[in-house]
Structure 1
Amino acid sequence: MENKIKKNISEIQDQINFFAKKYQRDSKEINLIAVSKYHTTESIKAAYECGIENFGENYIQEWQKKHTALNNLPNIKWHLIGHIQSNKAKYINSNIHCIHSIDKLNLAKEIEKKSNIDSNLKIKALVQLQIDKNDKNKSGISFENAKELCSYIVQSKKMKFAGFMGIGPEETNKDYLRKSYEVFAKNSESLWQSCADNSKEKYILSLGMSSDYEIAIEHGSTLLRIGTAIFGKKK
């Protein structure tokens, strides 16, 4: 298993470098998050030993167990990438590096009110923007309604507004995906320019998974959330 993970990571990193060159991107600006939900701490260690520092978890309780088991690994960074229920806000703390999936003003307010985040150790927060209005299975706030949420996070004492996350539709038509991601990137840029404290600061675009990361790189993604292509399918 460890050798397979190492081989997969090497191949993905080669692909990232290739696509970055193809689309005239700096590969150093494109980081890889290993989506480790449902995978073992042994698999996470194997990826970590290959130089991966960023790991994505969907569920707070699963993250808590893994954080406790792996807190001896220096520089490991945990990302919450799944839908967060408001009643779980109290479990969020500064051991989380970044929350990707803030899609409601009420959720942001609950995190501000109930989380255990140290105000001196703010965590990065991304607004999850809706990519496809017809995809009812994906969370995300519409571009039209996102400005109030972005502005609230900018004023937060516990979160640092750092960019945007998108989950692409389950769509195999590459032309459709390209158009969708192009609009997502333009909407993200517009919101950042109108809401961020320092609009000249580079922001995060968390976009792209195992099946679509070439198109995500083409449209400016800086964080790729890769699970299956690293760890294999969940058993």
Structure 2
Amino acid sequence: MSILADQYRRVCQRIQQACDESGRPADAVSLLAVSKFKPASMVRECYQQGQRQFGENYLQDAMEKIPALADLADIEWHFIGALQSNKTRTVAEHFDWLATLERDKIARRLNEQRPAGKAQLNVLIQVNISGEEQKSGVAVAEIAALAAVVESLPNLTLRGLMCVPEATSDESQLRGQFQQMKQLFNELQQHHSCVDTLSMGMSADLELAIAEGATQVRIGTDIFGARD
């Protein structure tokens, strides 16, 4: 077994165990493999282990991989980085998901630029759940308005919420932010029928995120190794 295959298996086991300990079914939580800065060959190897969802933070990096892996028909590409308005066309044309929506202008551009005949672009609203000034994401009070905009756009589908919580060693503080995200997610589900994804939790805190209701965790280094 290769190093990557072993690391991938270990991450899947952690997710399985966290689901078991939380009394949740194994298929309640999906894994988004964050493949930024890793070559197409590693993505292909991870795909061969059964992984289908891959997250990319940088468009230039992603666009070296996506064409190289075009033969993998059921691979899913998620853009999880900050998206500037002058880069929306690339996401609209080549990605299946955007996980970091925080402005209605971006939503409208993606809707206009999504190619005819291509499936709707799945969208997560990024929430600045910690309220940190330097952090991306909408304020809690802005979620409903942005969700309504997405819902009105025919080439987008609102699938849920995403957050990057505060970098803290205080587990109670982190748990509180995850719990608030779950409450916001539940409220969003009441008004938008396609909402099914709560993306929170990374390598260091995936167990806590799953315990508090995450339906997707984003793991990079623990699968692919440290950045070269």
Smaller-chain TM-score range? over 0.9
SS at match of 2:150: helix
Give the match for residue 155 of structure 1.
152
Q: Does the 8 Å CA contact 2:33/2:220 hold for their aligned counterparts?
A: yes
Give the match for residue 213 of structure 2.
220
What CA distance in whole angstroms lies between the structure 1 residues aligned with 2:32 and 2:150? 23
Per the TM alignment, residue 4 of structure 1 is displaced from its structure 2 partner at its CA by 1.0
Give the match for residue 23 of structure 2.
24
Per the TM alignment, residue 131 of structure 1 is displaced from its structure 2 partner at its CA by 1.4
Give the match for residue 198 of structure 2.
205
In the superposition, the TM-score normalised over structure 2's length comes to 0.94
What CA distance in whole angstroms lies between the structure 1 residues aligned with 2:208 and 2:116? 37
Give the match for residue 139 of structure 2.
142
SS at match of 1:92: helix
Q: Does the 8 Å CA contact 1:103/1:127 hold for their aligned counterparts?
A: yes
Which of 116, 124, 127 aligns to 1:126? It is 124
The question of 1:174 aligning with 2:174 is answered no
Q: Does the 8 Å CA contact 2:80/2:98 hold for their aligned counterparts?
A: yes
Identical pairs, percent: 26
Q: Which runs of 5+ in 2 are unaligned?
A: none
Per the TM alignment, residue 118 of structure 1 is displaced from its structure 2 partner at its CA by 3.0
Q: Which runs of 5+ in 1 are unaligned?
A: none
Q: How well do the aligned residues superpose, as a CA RMSD in angstroms? A: 1.5
What CA distance in whole angstroms lies between the structure 1 residues aligned with 2:84 and 2:216? 23
What CA distance in whole angstroms lies between the structure 2 residues aligned with 1:180 and 1:68? 38
Give the match for residue 230 of structure 1.
223
What CA distance in whole angstroms lies between the structure 2 residues aligned with 1:120 and 1:15? 35
What CA distance in whole angstroms lies between the structure 1 residues aligned with 2:114 and 2:208? 37
Per the TM alignment, residue 163 of structure 1 is displaced from its structure 2 partner at its CA by 0.7
In the superposition, the TM-score normalised over structure 1's length comes to 0.92
SS at match of 1:210: coil
SS at match of 2:41: helix
Number of residue pairs aligned between Structure 1 and Structure 2: 228
Give the match for residue 33 of structure 2.
34
